[in-house]
Structure 1
Amino acid sequence: MRLTYDSELDEARLHLAGGIVDDSELLVVGPQLTPTADRLLLAYDTADYLVYVDVEGADRVLRAETLAAAL
């Protein structure tokens, strides 16, 4: 797993698959709302494996030290 964070957009992505995944082969599900009304988007591949999770409003739902490690 790998976490990336864009501080300008306040979006984090938790990458669950290794290598490069073609976005055209993904099914993105969501948004799912967090308790703070921020959004989670889940991306699945053609075999129904979870590939990544996008977290919008990441600074409100992820710990600061977690985000700092992703920069």
Structure 2
Amino acid sequence: MATPKRTEKLQIMLDDEELKLIDDWRFEHRMPTRAAAIRELIRRGLINEEIAEPETDGKTTSDFRIESE
């Protein structure tokens, strides 16, 4: 079965701490690339129904950060 070709690029800005969290997760889960790790994290977030809806009223993009637990 053929895999759909990826034709869209997304650009996001991350600070050093956010990037470190993603890279640490990537290596812990033995993901082959940073892009694969980010796609897997997005997939997991989209299928997880236990996560509360974000409060978006009056927030800007910089209010949405990746934070360690």
Q: TM-score, normalised by structure 1?
A: 0.22
Q: TM-score, normalised by structure 2?
A: 0.23
When you count strand as a share of all residues, which structure comes out higher? 1
When you count helix as a share of all residues, which structure comes out higher? 2
